[in-house]
Amino acid sequence: MAAHEPVDPASSFALDGRPIVAFVEMENRTRDDAQIVITFEKPGETAGHIELGVPANQARWRTWGRTQGVKDAGDWVAVVRTSDGTELARAPFEVTEGS
């Protein structure tokens, strides 16, 4: 990261014990605070379930969620949802064996 922004975002990660991080940039132009949930998913498996707040009246809000719960290689996707389950975004990534 540089100046709190991701640099060279990766789409492939090794199972090496380091966390996987999802960076989220969004807006909340309502008068009410909001909640988002970040999960890391592949068929039959989920990790993360990170609940994050998004303050009201934000034209640009940046946050991130991280997990060390991804334990299997394969094709995964990071999913951002509202607290009621509405999907906002998804980003696929690959997890490989070893470093």
27-66 per-position pLDDT tens digit: 999 999 999 999 999 999 999 999 999 999 999 999 999 9
pLDDT of 98 higher than 80: no
The alpha-carbon radius of gyration of the chain (Å, integer) is 14
pLDDT of 77 higher than 80: yes
pLDDT of 99 higher than 80: no
Q: Place 90 in a pLDDT band, splitting at 50, 70 and 90.
A: very high
Q: Place 1 in a pLDDT band, splitting at 50, 70 and 90.
A: low
Residues 6+ away with beta carbon under 8 Å from 14:
95, 96, 97, 98, 99
Q: Which fold has domain 12-96?
A: Immunoglobulin-like (2.60.40)
Residues 6+ away with beta carbon under 8 Å from 45:
72
Domains of the chain by residue range = 12-96
Among residues 69, 9, 6, which one has the least CA distance to residue 41? 69
User: What pTM did the predictor assign?
Assistant: 0.89
What per-residue confidence (pLDDT) applies to 8? 80
